[in-house]
């Protein structure tokens, strides 16, 4: 990166950006920790201000007073689909293509299993990268053992994906759109195309994209996807995750963990499983009503904000952070995150042998990020509630710490 790129950044210029920020008002929808600049929204999104009252209402009125009558009246049963539709808008999916589910890993296990079960006989490989999130790799390692043919799990470096697809035996390629360590962004559109040309399904983990990066599931032809509720969607600790199933695949791909909520007629209590014909087939169990209520407040905080606006602001925030640190350290910083806007998600990662100590020191000085082994300092930029001016101050603090080492 050019070391002079950030020369022009000042606190005043960032305050000016705050004043003209078209989504700056959305910060008012969050309760933020008062003692730090919160750069951990990529790990646990901040609490929506509406969450405590909404949870109190679900507890007091819906559970306490109405009790079991809320399954119908409180719309508890429709929760996974209703909340799913609110997520659909943010990932460029159609209504009826997304449901909330247990967790990302379980959702991924379901769609990997579905892809393998539906794949033609000669397609016996799952393809991913060594950089993928460990839990995603574990899910695939486990799921393949349930198939008598023991499909191969092919784990390659990102650059080797095209060649690995070329082998012609891949049932599904599954990738995480934004790398959790480096913040690097895959070109989802062209990799999805490449998978399709190789006859494979394209599965995307949107944990670090949903709510911060446009995905365009529909426009890009994504087959299946999963994502997390508690990062940029601000759904709270342990929030339900979500599964996206392209409408063309609904009624066709089998859920390998069937349960009554995915039955075509759950309340008929029939002996045999008959899958719902829509995205509900990927449900298994009774929805987590309390957790879902919190997630819904997180999604409602996006009302009036488009994902394109969120992306534009996120890119501005990460740019300020990177350029100010570059400037203040005289270029003596090793970003793991690609500098070009098309190459990065909504986080900035710095490599340093003292990464863990740097993150601790930053917290002491009022900047909350996190450490990922072996040498990564991670800082996440949630566009809904961060201000340019606080990101500027955070960058100055981090640059100071780096300069001291
Ligand atoms: C955060 C994250 C998960 C979380 O998985 P859970 O099963 O919901 O705990 C999975 N995959 C990726 C890429 C993540 O970033």
Question: What average pLDDT score do residues 124-147 get?
Answer: 96
pLDDT, residue 122, reads 87
Degrees, nearest 5: CA angle 148-154-160: 160
- Cα 368 to Cα 356: distance, rounded to the nearest angstrom: 12
Which of 100, 104, 137 has the most ligand 1 atoms within 8 A of CB, as the residue to mutate?
104
Question: Which long-range CB contacts under 8 A does 135-141 form with residues at least 24 apart?
Answer: 135/104, 135/105, 136/104, 136/105, 136/108, 136/174, 136/176, 136/205, 138/105, 139/105, 139/106, 139/108, 139/109, 139/112, 140/108, 140/112, 140/174
Among protein residues, the one whose CA lies closest to atom 14 of ligand 1: 207
Looking at residue 60, what DSSP letter applies?
A: I
| Nearest atom in ligand 1 to 132's CA | 13
**Does residue 2 register a pLDDT over 80?**
no
> Residue 183 Cα, ligand 1 centroid: separation in angstroms?
14
Looking at residue 48, what DSSP letter applies?
A: E
Asked about 378 being catalytic, the answer comes back as yes
Catalytic residue (one of 21, 85, 205, 375): 205
pLDDT over 70, % of the chain: 98
Among protein residues, the one whose CA lies closest to atom 6 of ligand 1: 104
- Cα 215 to Cα 213: distance, rounded to the nearest angstrom: 6
Could you tell me if 325 and 349 are in contact, meaning their C-beta atoms sit under 8 angstroms apart?
no
- Cα 188 to Cα 191: distance, rounded to the nearest angstrom: 5
Closest to 279 measured CA to CA, from 100, 90, 109, 98: 98
Q: Where residue 59 falls among pLDDT bands split at 50, 70, 90?
A: very high
Beta bridge partners of 372: 376
**Does residue 4 register a pLDDT over 60?**
no
Strands 201-205 and 37-38: unpaired
Tally of CB atoms within 10 A around 341: 14
Question: What average pLDDT score do residues 223-250 get?
Answer: 98
Which of 138, 207, 210, 225 has the most ligand 1 atoms within 8 A of CB, as the residue to mutate?
207
> Residue 88 Cα, ligand 1 centroid: separation in angstroms?
19
- Cα 48 to Cα 95: distance, rounded to the nearest angstrom: 24
The continuous run of DSSP H or E covering 334 comes out as strand 334-335
Question: What average pLDDT score do residues 352-365 get?
Answer: 98
Which of 112, 179, 204, 228 has the most ligand 1 atoms within 8 A of CB, as the residue to mutate?
228
pLDDT, residue 1, reads 45
Diameter over CA atoms, the chain: 70
pTM of the entire predicted model: 0.97
State whether the Cα torsion 141-142-144-150 is positive or negative: positive
**Does residue 5 register a pLDDT over 80?**
no
Residues contacting residue 398 through CB under 8 Å, at least 6 positions apart: 325, 350, 358, 362, 367, 369, 377, 379
Q: Where residue 78 falls among pLDDT bands split at 50, 70, 90?
A: very high
As for ligand 1, residues whose beta carbon falls within 6 Å of it are 103-105, 133, 135-136, 176, 180, 205, 207-208, 228, 241
> Residue 356 Cα, ligand 1 centroid: separation in angstroms?
21
Q: Where residue 74 falls among pLDDT bands split at 50, 70, 90?
A: low
Asked about 205 being catalytic, the answer comes back as yes
| Nearest atom in ligand 1 to 228's CA | 8
pLDDT, residue 150, reads 87
310-347 tens-digit pLDDT: 999 999 999 999 999 999 999 999 999 999 999 999 99
- Cα 335 to Cα 343: distance, rounded to the nearest angstrom: 13
Say whether the peptide bond before residue 374 is cis (omega within 30 degrees of 0). Answer: yes
**Does residue 112 register a pLDDT over 60?**
yes
> Residue 186 Cα, ligand 1 centroid: separation in angstroms?
17
| Nearest atom in ligand 1 to 241's CA | 8
Asked about 385 being catalytic, the answer comes back as no
Asked about 313 being catalytic, the answer comes back as no
**In this structure, what token pair is assigned to residue 308?**
């394109």
> Residue 334 Cα, ligand 1 centroid: separation in angstroms?
26
Following DSSP, what letter does each residue of 234-280 receive, concatenated? Answer: ---TT--EEEEE-GGGTTTSPPSS--GGGBSSGGG--SS--B-SSGG
- Cα 263 to Cα 77: distance, rounded to the nearest angstrom: 13
pLDDT, residue 3, reads 46
Tally of CB atoms within 10 A around 33: 11
Asked about 231 being catalytic, the answer comes back as yes
20-57 tens-digit pLDDT: 999 999 999 999 999 999 999 999 999 999 999 999 99
Catalytic residue (one of 29, 81, 110, 231): 231
């Amino acid at each position: 990166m050019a070391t002079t790129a950030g020369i022009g950044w000042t606190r005043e210029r960032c305050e000016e950006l705050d004043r003209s920020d078209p989504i700056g008002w959305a910060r008012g929808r969050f309760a933020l920790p008062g003692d730090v600049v919160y750069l951990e929204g990529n790990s646990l999104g901040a609490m929506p201000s509406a969450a405590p009252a909404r949870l109190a209402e679900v507890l007091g009125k819906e559970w306490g007073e109405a009790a079991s009558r809320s399954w119908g009246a409180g719309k508890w049963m429709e929760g996974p689909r209703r909340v799913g539709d609110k997520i659909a808008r943010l990932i460029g999916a159609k209504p009826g293509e997304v449901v909330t589910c247990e967790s990302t890993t379980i959702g991924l296990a379901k769609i990997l299993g579905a892809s393998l079960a539906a794949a033609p006989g000669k397609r016996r490989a799952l393809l991913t990268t060594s950089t993928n999130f460990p839990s995603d790799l574990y899910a695939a390692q486990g799921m393949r053992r349930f198939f008598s043919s023991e499909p191969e799990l092919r784990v390659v470096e990102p650059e080797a994906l095209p060649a690995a697809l070329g082998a012609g035996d891949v049932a599904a390629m599954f990738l995480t759109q934004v790398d959790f360590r480096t913040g690097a962004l895959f070109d989802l559109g062209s990799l999805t195309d490449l998978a399709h040309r190789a006859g494979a399904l394209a599965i995307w983990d949107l944990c670090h994209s949903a709510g911060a990066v446009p995905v365009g599931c529909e426009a890009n032809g994504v087959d299946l996807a999963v994502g997390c509720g508690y990062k940029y969607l601000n759904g709270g600790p342990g929030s339900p995750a979500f599964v996206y199933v392209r409408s063309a695949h609904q009624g066709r791909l089998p859920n390998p963990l069937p349960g009554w909520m995915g039955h075509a007629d759950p309340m008929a209590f029939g002996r045999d499983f008959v899958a719902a014909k829509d995205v509900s087939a990927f449900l298994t169990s009774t929805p987590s009503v309390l957790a879902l209520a919190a997630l819904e407040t997180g999604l409602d905080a996006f009302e009036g904000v488009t994902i394109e606006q969120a992306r534009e602001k996120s890119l501005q925030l990460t740019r300020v952070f990177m350029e100010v640190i570059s400037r203040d350290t005289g270029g003596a910083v090793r970003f793991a995150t690609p500098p070009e806007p098309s190459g990065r998600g909504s986080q900035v990662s710095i490599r340093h042998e003292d990464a863990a100590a740097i993150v601790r020191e930053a917290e002491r000085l009022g900047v909350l990020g996190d450490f990922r082994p072996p040498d990564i300092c991670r800082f996440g930029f949630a566009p809904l509630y961060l201000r340019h001016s606080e990101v500027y101050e955070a960058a100055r603090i981090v640059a100071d710490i780096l300069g001291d080492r």
